[in-house]
Amino acid sequence: MKKYTYTESKDTRSGFGAGLVEAAKQDENVVALCADLIGSLKMNEFIKAFPDRFFQIGIAEANMMGIAAGLTIGGKIPFTGTFANFSTGRVYDQIRQSIAYSDKNVKIAASHAGLTLGEDGATHQILEDIGLMKMLPGMTVINPCDYNQTKAATIAVARHKGPVYLRFGRPVVPVFTPDDQDFVIGKAVMLNPGTAVTILATGHLVWEAIQAGEELEGMGVDAEIINIHTIKPLDEEAILGSIAKTGCVVTAEEHNRIGGLGDSVAQLLTKQMPVPQEYVAVNDSFGESGTPSELMHKYGLNADAIVAAVLRVLKRKQIKL
């Protein structure tokens, strides 16, 4: 098992904030909008550096999505900022009509995604956003795993032409990917080659997958671990190549089992290469208040849950039909 170490922990939303400043330096058309959550979205540095390119919208997310769509007419590259819940479910129709169907170059930056928002509870913990966004034709869906990757993803997203949903979070998590990484949208990142099982993880679950890989190594299980930072378009080649070798897969995500990465993988496998698959995801329920780690434990979204899922899938793999 390849060793992953880290010297610091940071929140992915701060990676977004840093990436936004960098993207804005690179392209004067980058602008940002926020619905009364500047601090939460880590937009302060951007506002300080580019005050004329920032739009405070107030608590009016539907209007924000429309204004972002309009800003693209005139060549701007708008990043909208609010919590993932208010970036998707609350404004689905605005995104659908004014952004996705209208082919607008809007970047929807969504923080506080998933359970790790913590104590605020289920009203704010959206677990359906990946599903909502990936169903929109033409929408790119990205869920990076740490500070460095979120920063790199933000810069890549600004350069990409077309609507993007960029999902990140609030908790402080280990920074283990390189700070000079080249982020390629739609290209999965191999973290550890293995032969027994494929673990496909996204977002905060990537670090958990690495932890699980180490534990599995101790049990004699050689796991292949891949970081799927882009859920749409899915890196089918990387996934099929891995599964052709291992013959079974565990998907891991901070999202509802329905509609997330696991479903995207299942759809691919059903058509191309049916193999046993186990989901590490929220089992079709809402979240609740608690600390992030308490919630990740209760809802089965940590390294232990990944190990258990691997053991289940290995058992299924051995059944010869």
Partner 1 sequence: MTKKSIHNLEAIVQQVRRDIVRMVHACQSGHPGGSLGCTELLVCLYFELMQRKEQFDPNGVGEDLFFLSNGHISPVFYSVLARAGYFPIDELATFRKLNSRLQGHPTTHEGLPGIRVASGSLGQGLSVAIGAAQAKKLNKDNRLVYVLMGDGELQEGQIWEAAMYAAHNKMDNLIAIVDYNGAQIDGATNDVLSLGDLPGKWMAFGWKVIEVRRGNDIGSVIAGLRKAQDSTAKRVPVMVLLHTEMGNGVDFMMGSHKWHGVAPNDEQLTSALNQNAETLGDYIA
Positions marked catalytic = 61
Encoding tokens for residue 143? 């869920």
Q: Is 256 in the site for partner 1 (CB under 8 A)?
A: no
Of 76, 160, 257, 312, the one binding partner 1 by CB under 8 A: 76
- The CB-of-47 to partner 1 minimum distance in angstroms stands at 15
Single-letter code of the amino acid located at 103: D
Name the residue nearer to partner 1 (CB basis): 70 or 300: 70
Task: Answer for the pair 227, 199: CB distance below 8 angstroms, yes or no.
Answer: no
Residue 279 has φ and ψ, to the nearest 5°, of: -105, 135
Secondary structure (DSSP) of 265-311: HHHHHHHH----EEEEEE-S----SS-HHHHHHHTT-SHHHHHHHHH
- What is the helix (H) or strand (E) element at residue 214, kind and residue range? helix 205-218
The closest of 38, 73, 75 to 54, measured between CA atoms, is 38
Q: Is 69 in the site for partner 1 (CB under 8 A)?
A: yes
The span of 18-26, 53-61, 174-182, 257-265 binding partner 1 (CB under 8 A) equals 53-61
Of 44, 48, 93, 244, the one binding partner 1 by CB under 8 A: 93
Q: Is 51 in the site for partner 1 (CB under 8 A)?
A: no
- The CB-of-98 to partner 1 minimum distance in angstroms stands at 5
Q: Is 105 in the site for partner 1 (CB under 8 A)?
A: no
Name the residue nearer to partner 1 (CB basis): 138 or 178: 138
Residue 157 has φ and ψ, to the nearest 5°, of: -65, -40
Of 19, 32, 42, 72, the one binding partner 1 by CB under 8 A: 72
- Number of other residues whose CB lies within 10 A of the CB of residue 111: 28
Q: Is 90 in the site for partner 1 (CB under 8 A)?
A: no
Single-letter code of the amino acid located at 199: I
Task: Answer for the pair 261, 228: CB distance below 8 angstroms, yes or no.
Answer: yes
Task: Answer for the pair 70, 104: CB distance below 8 angstroms, yes or no.
Answer: no
Q: How far apart are CA 173 and CA 40, in angstroms?
A: 16
- The CB-of-31 to partner 1 minimum distance in angstroms stands at 7
Size of the site for partner 1 (CB under 8 A): 32
Residue 226 has φ and ψ, to the nearest 5°, of: -125, 135
The span of 60-68, 153-161, 207-215, 235-243 binding partner 1 (CB under 8 A) equals 60-68
Site string for partner 1, 288-317 (x = CB under 8 A): ------------------------------
Q: Is 75 in the site for partner 1 (CB under 8 A)?
A: yes
* CA angle 148–33–146, rounded 5-degree value: 15
Name the residue nearer to partner 1 (CB basis): 65 or 142: 65
Name the residue nearer to partner 1 (CB basis): 87 or 198: 87
Residues lying near partner 1 in the complex (CB under 8 A) are found at 31, 52-53, 55, 57-58, 60, 62-76, 78, 93-94, 96-98, 101-104
